[in-house]
Structure 1
């Protein structure tokens, strides 16, 4: 199972990138894969081909009207079942004995 964290943004589109982020989040949400939106990117969980297909779809949607795109991707693969988006946070909270502000 793969946890993939990525951010994708166009160059020369001004300060507010929320229209482009919203476009990508629509694709991510409709993928049906578990995900977590953060202020600096999005984490998606699934099989390699599934998560890479989502990133590719986001790129293809952005390049329609963006001539230059910056993308950062971080990938963590671990054999076994899914559910790590929540399980990894829960494990740290268990260790601390309290809920964290996530």
Structure 2
């Protein structure tokens, strides 16, 4: 499963406010299949098969253009781990576990 962090920035909108664009993009994501989405204050996390994730990112990138933006800048980070199933929640739980039991990078076993 791929986990992507996506930030889409509409440029040339005539306003410093982007929340209406973000709301439109979340509506676009609601129409995408086979993905899990988590909105954060600074980006959106998308989980799923890499093909589904990339299709969703393409739809996100197009959304501000459909709303009148003259330019769009999209930043993408993808973690595509195939050695075992993973998720954004798994990654958070792993860090929290290490925090609670005192594990550090020097004492942790590679996963």
User: SS of 2:95's equivalent?
Assistant: helix
Q: Name the counterpart of 1:4.
A: 4
State the TM-score, normalizing by the size of structure 2: 0.78
Output aligned runs, 1:1-102, within 5 Å.
1-13=1-13, 14-32=15-33, 33-64=35-66, 65-79=68-82, 80-82=84-86, 84-97=87-100
**RMSD value, Cα:** 1.6
State the TM-score, normalizing by the size of structure 1: 0.85
Larger radius of gyration: 2
User: SS of 1:43's equivalent?
Assistant: strand
Q: Which runs of 5+ in 2 are unaligned?
A: 102-111
My pick for the range that moved more, 5-14 or 23-32, is 23-32
Structure 1 runs of 4+ with >6 Å offset: none
